[in-house]
């Protein structure tokens, strides 16, 4: 959807936040660029039927240790309007570059940029997954699974490092407590791991973290597919030969059904294609191995998010365009 202008609110005098421009529309509602005093902020607006998502997202943001470079910064939450016409607002830092998905649609990346984005993104997911015990200065941080990890939920800061956003489906794992009766099939079908597509139930804590890592493998593929190293070789043949595609877009198209995804990912065990050319660069070849280890059919064989992060630090040492 094109960004929309919205006329100033009639009760602007009582409302310190002014919505400026709609930036994204999603399953939950929409995200606006807004002015709060002298700052530009992002406002995510939930409708009354999605009040629970607004509450979940606040709960996640308010956990100890969530103020982290690679996690979107929370500012506050507000309820607007009366009960019949209520809007539930979640206010965060605004990032002008938008999501990684938007960025990759419009840009190709150098090897250095790719490593910077991939490292900061895996650092954000590692931090989310990590359980941190209480110490003298701060309380315990439980492990959190994202459950809707994808390139449109990774935002890019102006220095091209990533921060993770959209925690409205996230799950908190409190030690000693079961995560209750949770449904596995939430989030975005295209990024569902094979075990989610199969409708396996009773996922454990580790199983939820592995589902996030599978999705991160797909996002690493999106990044590599837009890297200048192999783009250069085809540029002269056809300027648009390497236009951006979502993971599995070549295999299942733009609007795959559950059956399309099951057929492709579970039964045929297909994964996004890795052309030979991508392995000509040493660092990129290693990154391709890593993404394959993230999206392994066997969930237990997948890497952990901190392991992906550590590997990317090593790959960044290889020179590249
Ligand atoms: N899209 C979703 N959340 C955003 C944010 N905080 N900044 C910019 N674009 C966004």
Asked whether the ipTM of the predicted complex exceeds the cut of 0.90, the reply is: yes
Q: And the tokens for 231? A: 């783009």
Environment class of 90 (CB within 10 Å of its CB; exposed 0-12, middle 13-18, buried 19+) = buried
What residue's CA is closest to ligand 1, atom 5? 94
What pLDDT shows up at residue 236? 47
Q: Is the CB of 98 under 6 A from ligand 1?
A: yes
Which residues does the annotation mark as catalytic?
A: 148
| 42 Cα nearest atom in ligand 1 | 6
Buried b (16+ CB within 10 A) or exposed e, 64-75: ebbebebbbbbb
Q: Is the CB of 101 under 6 A from ligand 1?
A: no
Tens-place pLDDT, residues 39-58: 999 999 999 999 999 999 99
- 3-state SS, residue 75: strand
Q: Is the CB of 281 under 6 A from ligand 1?
A: no
Residues 63, 265: Cα–Cα separation, whole Å: 35
DSSP symbol at 267: I
- Pick from 28, 29, 71, 99 the residue to mutate for probing ligand 1's pocket: most ligand atoms within 8 Å of its CB: 99
Q: Is the CB of 23 under 6 A from ligand 1?
A: yes
3-state DSSP of 271-301: CCCCCHHHHCCHHHHHHHHHHHHHCCCCHHH
Tens-place pLDDT, residues 220-277: 999 999 998 876 555 444 444 468 999 999 999 999 999 999 999 999 999 999 999 9
What residue's CA is closest to ligand 1, atom 2? 31
Residues 291, 300: Cα–Cα separation, whole Å: 15
Instruction: Give, in degrees to the nearest 5, the angle at Cα 142 between 137 and 144.
Output: 135
The alpha carbon of 307 is separated from its chain's Cα centroid by a whole number of angstroms, namely 18
Q: Is the CB of 104 under 6 A from ligand 1?
A: no
Tens-place pLDDT, residues 142-176: 999 999 999 999 999 999 999 999 999 999 998 87
C-beta of residue 7 within 8 angstroms of C-beta of residue 21: no
């Amino acid at each position: 959807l094109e960004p929309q202008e919205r006329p100033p609110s009639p009760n602007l005098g009582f409302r310190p936040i002014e919505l400026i421009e709609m930036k994204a529309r999603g399953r939950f509602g929409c995200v606006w660029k807004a002015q709060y005093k002298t700052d530009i902020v992002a406002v995510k607006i939930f409708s009354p039927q999605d009040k629970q998502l607004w509450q979940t997202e606040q709960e996640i943001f308010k956990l100890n240790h969530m103020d982290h470079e690679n996690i979107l910064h929370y500012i506050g939450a507000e309820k607007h309007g009366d009960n019949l016409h209520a809007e539930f607002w979640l206010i965060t830092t605004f990032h002008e570059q938008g999501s990684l998905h938007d960025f990759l649609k419009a840009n190709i990346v150098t090897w250095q940029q790719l490593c910077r984005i991939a490292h900061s993104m895996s650092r954000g997911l590692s931090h989310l997954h990590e359980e941190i015990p209480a110490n003298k200065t701060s309380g315990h941080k439980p492990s959190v699974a994202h459950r809707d990890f994808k390139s449109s939920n990774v935002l890019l800061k102006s220095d091209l490092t990533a921060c993770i956003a959209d925690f409205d489906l996230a799950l908190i794992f409190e030690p000693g407590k079961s995560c209750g009766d949770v449904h596995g099939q939430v989030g975005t079908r295209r990024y569902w791991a094979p075990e989610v597509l199969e409708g396996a139930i009773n996922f454990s804590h580790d199983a939820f973290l592995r589902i996030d890592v599978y999705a991160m493998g797909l996002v690493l593929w999106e990044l590599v597919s837009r890297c200048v190293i192999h783009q250069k070789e085809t540029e002269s043949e056809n300027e648009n030969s390497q236009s951006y595609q979502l993971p599995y877009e070549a295999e299942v198209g733009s609007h795959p059904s559950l059956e399309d995804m099951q057929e492709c990912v579970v039964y045929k065990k297909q994964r996004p294609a890795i052309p030979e050319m991508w392995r000509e660069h040493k660092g990129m070849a290693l990154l391709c191995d890593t993404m394959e280890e993230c999206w392994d059919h066997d969930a237990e064989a997948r890497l952990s998010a901190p392991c992906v992060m550590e590997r990317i630090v090593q790959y960044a040492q290889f020179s590249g365009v």
